Amino acid sequence: MNATRTPLRAAPAAGRLHLLVFRPPAEEVAQVCPLMRALDAMEAARAESYVSARDRIQYVAAHATLRGLLAAYTGLDPGRIVLGRSEEPYGKPQLVDPPVPLHFNLSHSHGLIAIGVAADPVGVDVQRVPSPEAVEMVLPRLHPQEREELRALPADERTVAFARLWTRKEAYLKGLGTGLTRSPAADYLGDRDARGRPQGWTVRNVPVQPGYAAAAALRNHPT
């Protein structure tokens, strides 16, 4: 196990979520090069595989910031933290060394990054508001009640409502550890009937800049 120093910040208490939403640096590779040193070999190779400089910078900023946060909680240097994947169908990222009871998740999309850290399973998702055409393509994949709610909205409200719904759904599925290997139609994450939502989880949208939607899902801590 790696040697540790005193953590810089207290880990989230049970039932609490530490959430960070931010934009990556401007498209200047020089700003990202120092961050590359925090990544492991697999992450660095993934970063180099991006053709677009913007996408590469976004990836590096997201993963280096995650490592920085985990370092603050654990007392390890960011580059010495060992990450792995769980055995769940989606293979959720998890801490291997140090083996501390921290759960985390990250999401990045079109210049916006979200990272969540908690004492219990957590999922986060951020998306840019899609086009009306994209919404129509995905509607058939949703839970029947969600489809009904969205189709009842005026056309000019539907894209934002869909983005808010979809981020709730993805955050929940990422928290479960299934991702989209579980059918998006299997669970109701709509606005109208809180009683119909998945039991044992708190799922909420979080405020972000116009043109985007974001959400976080946290499994309720046993009492």
- The phi-psi region of residue 37 (left if phi > 0; otherwise alpha if psi is between -120 and 50; otherwise beta) is alpha
At 2 the pLDDT is 53
Tokens of 38: 């925090």
pLDDT band per the 50, 70, 90 thresholds, residue 10: confident
Is the pLDDT at 116 greater than 60, yes or no? Answer: yes
Is the pLDDT at 157 greater than 60, yes or no? Answer: yes
| pTM listed for this prediction | 0.90
Determine the length of the chain: 223
**Complete domains list, the chain, with CATH:** 17-120 (3.90.470.20), 125-219 (3.90.470.20)
CB of 159 closer than 8 Å to CB of 130: yes
CB of 57 closer than 8 Å to CB of 25: yes
